[in-house]
Amino acid sequence: MSKLIPPHGGKGLTVCLLEGAALEAEKKKAAGLKKVTISPRVKGDLIMIGIGGFSPLTGFMTKADWKSVCDKFLLADGTFWPVPVTLDVTKAEADAVKSGDEVALFDPEGNEIMATMKVTEKWEMTDADKKYECEKIFMGEGTKTAEDFWKIAKDDHPGVQMVMKQGPVNLAGTVKVLSEGEYPKKYAGVYHRPAESRKIFEEKGWSEIAALQLRNPMHRSHEYLCKIAVEVCDGVYIHSLVGNLKPGDIPAEVRVKCIDALVKHHFVEKNVVQGGYPLDMRYAGPREGLLHATFRQNYGCSRMIIGRDHAGVGDFYGMFEAQTIFDKIPKPKEAGKALLCSPLKIDWTFYCTKCDGMASLRTCPHGKENRVILSGTMLRKILSEGGAMPDHFGRDEVVAILREYYEGLTEKVKIKTHKAATGE
């Protein structure tokens, strides 16, 4: 009997990735089906559905699911779910498909058919619907009104831009996934299916595991968050996004190398597991924090580390809005339908010269003039501009790897800072 937290949804891991003879048969059938082209975001969502990372989802959402998720944080059947998982298509693709058809989902970047899908519903996604989704999913406490939100979101929020560029029709239906793309080979040893991470945790005898979400290289604040988690749990799962980011973010292979160096030199290695997952960032702040906890439950984690401005971008979200949202979500009574992975809420962390160590607003009585503010955005900005790194900002081993990466860039990307990154 496993001691780990059960997968979300009460149905175990809903794995839609085919293997063996079933995979070969479906590949042959897929070659003769109508092709639907998918975006990088849809590809990541599809792989997560395939490997059970998005349990209990077995396909892309109906309009009823989409509306319920936007309004109530629930699927139409009452299961907790925080963000839409939809498949958008062009008008021409939509016109060529009718409900009941089977289609092949084609990734143009990888030049391969990723899955087949039985279309159960074809529904329109108007510009008004897209704006509605954006306001529900991306508008946080950082903007007071929808009018204020749209003044800046259309130019400065990558998640909003992604939704507004989607096709005018969504297809819903269950999927049979044929490929995990480049991830198993490119990130061998790091990329995990939920069944694999669960097996690792069980072999270690762990039952309480905290997940750290990473899209930036690990700096001292991340390290401190992990060490707090190790003190109160059996171990920590450093789980990096290896899908697409926004311009200026650091590639996954560089971040993985940084984590390896940090764990080797500054952790008790047996208490840490590093993993990677294939999603694109949505930059949905509080809603994305909930999504991170939902799929980490599927990976076997009982706690989700939520610090300052989790999954945020710019100044769209309140500093700790991704923590407080956990207290406001619905808690379905039906077995398995509620979110069970709970937040490990940690205050703003920094290095304090007077404390002579890492601290947080809950433990340090000193003024901000004594604090070295640590943020992934500031780290990238300093390195991209060739600036001097403040003392105690990052570990030497990590900074050396990052400097080597930045020195090798032929094209520089300007990094915007925001209030949360500068301590304002």
Q: Point out the residues that are catalytic.
A: 215-216
How far is residue 107's CA from residue 276's CA, in Å, rounded to a whole number? Answer: 21
Give start and end residues of each alpha helix (H) in 300-350. 321-324
Contact (Cβ atoms closer than 8 angstroms) between residue 275 and residue 312: no
Name the token pair of 24.
């070969």
The Cα–Cα gap between 292 and 301 comes to 10
CA-based nearest residue to 57, from 8, 21, 92, 90? 8
138-156: b (≥16 Cβ within 10 Å) or e: bbbebbeeeeebbeebeee
Dihedral sign (CA 133, 139, 140, 145): negative
What the block records as the tokens of 269 is 């290695």
**Among the residues of 268-310, which ranges form H helices?**
286-299
In whole angstroms, give the CA distance from residue 167 to residue 122: 12
Structure tokens given for 408: 């090798």
Residues in the chain: 424
Q: What's the CA gap between 105 and 94, in Å, rounded?
A: 13
How many Cα neighbours within 13 Å face the side chain of 300?
Answer: 29
**From start to end of 30-151, where are the E strands?**
34-37, 59-60, 87-89, 102-107, 112-124
CA-based torsion, 386, 263, 208, 46: positive or negative: positive
Amino acid at 291: L
Q: How many CA atoms lie within 13 A of 106 on its CB side?
A: 15
In degrees, rounded to 5, the angle at the alpha carbon of residue 384 between the alpha carbons of residues 383 and 386 is 60
Nearest to 273 by CA among 241, 305, 234, 304: 234
